[in-house]
Amino acid sequence: MSLRDQIAGNRLQLVGERDEAAAAALAVRTKSEAYQRLKREMHLTVLDRVELERLVRMPEEQIRSEIGLLIARILDERKEPANDLERRQLTIDVYDEMFGFGPLEVLLRDPTVSDILVNTAKQTYVERRGRLELTDITFYDDAHLMKVIEKIVSRVGRRIDESSPMVDARLPDGSRVNAIIPPSAVDGPLVSIRRFAVNPLQVPDLVSLQTLTPPMAEVLDGLARAKVNILISGGTGSGKTTLLNVLSGFIPNDERIVTIEDAAELQLRQQHVLRLETRPPNIEGRGEITQRSLVRNALRMRPDRIILGEVRGAEALDMLNAMNTGHEGSLATIHANTPRDALTRLENMISLAGLALPPRTMRQQIASAITVVVQAARLTDGRRKIMSISELTGLEGDVVNMQEIFTFRRTGIDSTGAVRGYFCATGVRPKFSERLQAFGVTLPENIYDPARRFETN
């Protein structure tokens, strides 16, 4: 056989395999569409035949049993071909539609999913281990997705409609939800859910995941116990809130803590915690409660520490004032790519407070209020790292002095796409060492030794 004939034969084989794959994909899609249609019909029929008021008074297992029996009866009446596995799945799906968040429930039950991204009714992505994956989860139509969104936001007293097409809310497990609908979303409703683990990550988990090293964890533990003000900086999805949860775990149990957030996400383990949450304006444009007003109110609540979920605007000035007036050991997060950018963003936010402060005055306020900036990042392979722990040492002229204590240095990317690098100290002995000693925090002598490297794999 000639080379040309071989090439032609291979091409025909590829075309045949492609046609078979397309046919298989079409069969799966057709089956999925048929199941979706059957599920919707079952849902509507069950709603017509049951008394919801009677069902809600029953235990969950009894409700599932009642729905299962009713679905079996309807399938038998309609002579629908369905095996035992499909009947059990229909029972689960119809229950989720009636009492949960519909198609999202299967993803919310999956502990490996860290983010759920719904791109209109026909497409849903998830993030697992830092990587995005397309799922086969779909909604009947945009109206079905809108019902799920309304169910989520109504449970936390929020609203979403054409006059207010964007909303931040939270699920019962603390996961954060952002939704945006038409007219702001051109192609249909969009939903993003940031999952939070039922069991929050602890320091040993972050060390085993190579997010930080044992020496870095010891220093952060000491900083929290010595009531040092810490700002956590990072981009979206870099693990700022997870790190804030971990740092809050170092706070002694006998302190009074006030948390302030747009959507309550923090999962503090202390006993004496007061959680405050912002509120958007109502349909008349009234009743808004901003982070700035909550920070001001928190100062009257006799807090030992204030934890601000994320600094976004004029509340930055009130937060810095609180840190400078007896509320030491406070924590906050901010969106920024480097520690220096974080200080620049803080300066810009102070100017939003409506006070015409000179730049030097603003920088003096920042330098005296914040001692440490912890920089977090999500690398290209999806893993989170603490890239830097830096100390603010004061103001020199018009510049805030900053020195890096620990850093992560990249050395390349391996054959699997994983980022290679190592953690190390820079060799600088921080000025806050004296404060740690004053609070009885003793660290090993070699903790700032730059020769100690911690390679990542």
- Per-residue pLDDT band for 390 (boundaries 50, 70, 90) equals very high
308, 331 contact by CB (below 8 A): yes
Task: Quote the pLDDT of residue 436.
Answer: 93
Average pLDDT over residues 415-419: 86
- Nearest-angstrom CA–CA distance, 286 and 265: 25
Task: Quote the pLDDT of residue 197.
Answer: 66
C-alpha dihedral over 238, 244, 246, 249, to 10 degrees? Answer: 180
Question: Among the ranges 26-35, 167-176, 187-196, which has the highest mean pLDDT value?
Answer: 187-196
Q: Which of 66, 99, 132 is the last residue of a domain?
A: 99
- Nearest-angstrom CA–CA distance, 48 and 186: 34
Average pLDDT over residues 144-170: 84
249, 269 contact by CB (below 8 A): yes
- Nearest-angstrom CA–CA distance, 102 and 42: 13
Which of 60-64, 353-357, 403-407 shows the lowest mean pLDDT across its residues?
Answer: 60-64
Task: Quote the pLDDT of residue 130.
Answer: 76
SS3 for 131?
A: strand
Average pLDDT of the residues of the chain: 83
Q: Could you give the number of structural domains in the chain?
A: 3
Q: For residue 410, what are the domain limits?
A: 203-455
pLDDT score of 69 more than 90: no
Closest CA to 407 of 425, 421, 394: 425
- Nearest-angstrom CA–CA distance, 69 and 13: 49
Q: What's this model's pTM, rounded to 2 decimal places?
A: 0.76
What is the Cα 436 distance to its own chain's centre? Answer: 32
Q: Percentage of the chain with pLDDT > 90?
A: 34
Q: Which of 77, 99, 121 is the last residue of a domain?
A: 99
How many CB atoms within 10 Å of residue 322? Answer: 25
Average pLDDT over residues 319-330: 86
- Nearest-angstrom CA–CA distance, 332 and 38: 49
| 64, two tokens | 């599932």
pLDDT score of 345 more than 90: yes
How many CB atoms within 10 Å of residue 452? Answer: 14
CATH number at residue 156: 3.30.450.370
Q: Is 185 exposed, middle or buried (0-12, 13-18, 19+ CB in 10 A)?
A: middle
Same domain, 26 and 126: no
Same domain, 179 and 224: no
Same domain, 114 and 183: yes
Report the amino acid identity of residue 429: R
Closest CA to 142 of 164, 162, 166, 118: 118
Same domain, 41 and 115: no
- Nearest-angstrom CA–CA distance, 191 and 169: 11
Same domain, 222 and 291: yes
Q: Which of 164, 198, 232 is the last residue of a domain?
A: 198
Same domain, 154 and 209: no
DSSP H helical ranges for 249-338: 291-298, 315-324
Which of 11-15, 131-135, 325-329, 338-342 shows the lowest mean pLDDT across its residues?
Answer: 11-15
| 175, two tokens | 């996961």
Q: Which residue has the tokens 């003096």?
A: 364
SS3 for 357?
A: coil
Task: Quote the pLDDT of residue 50.
Answer: 67
339, 373 contact by CB (below 8 A): yes
Same domain, 129 and 263: no
| 356, two tokens | 């015409």
Same domain, 225 and 243: yes
Closest CA to 95 of 124, 123, 56, 121: 56
246, 206 contact by CB (below 8 A): yes
DSSP H helical ranges for 58-115: 60-78, 84-99, 104-108
Please report, for residues 126, 139, 165, 179, 334, the alpha-carbon distance to residue 183 in angstroms, rounded to integers and kept in the order given: 25, 20, 7, 13, 29
Task: Quote the pLDDT of residue 256.
Answer: 92
- Nearest-angstrom CA–CA distance, 295 and 276: 9
Classify the C-alpha dihedral 92-95-99-100 as positive or negative.
Answer: positive
| pLDDT tens digits, 179-195 | 999 999 999 999 999 88
Task: Quote the pLDDT of residue 51.
Answer: 67
Which of 6-15, 154-163, 271-280, 282-291 shows the lowest mean pLDDT across its residues?
Answer: 6-15
Rg (CA), the chain: 27
Task: Quote the pLDDT of residue 435.
Answer: 93
Average pLDDT over residues 55-60: 72
216 versus 15: the higher-pLDDT residue is: 216
Same domain, 138 and 260: no
Average pLDDT over residues 199-208: 84
Question: Among the ranges 159-163, 249-253, 338-342, which has the highest mean pLDDT value?
Answer: 338-342
Same domain, 337 and 411: yes
CATH number at residue 292: 3.40.50.300
Which of 10-24, 54-68, 350-364, 442-456 shows the lowest mean pLDDT across its residues?
Answer: 10-24
135, 117 contact by CB (below 8 A): no
Same domain, 43 and 8: yes
Report the amino acid identity of residue 223: L
Task: Quote the pLDDT of residue 153.
Answer: 86
| pLDDT tens digits, 82-139 | 777 777 888 888 888 778 888 888 898 888 888 999 999 999 999 987 788 999 888 8
Same domain, 60 and 107: no
- Nearest-angstrom CA–CA distance, 432 and 216: 14
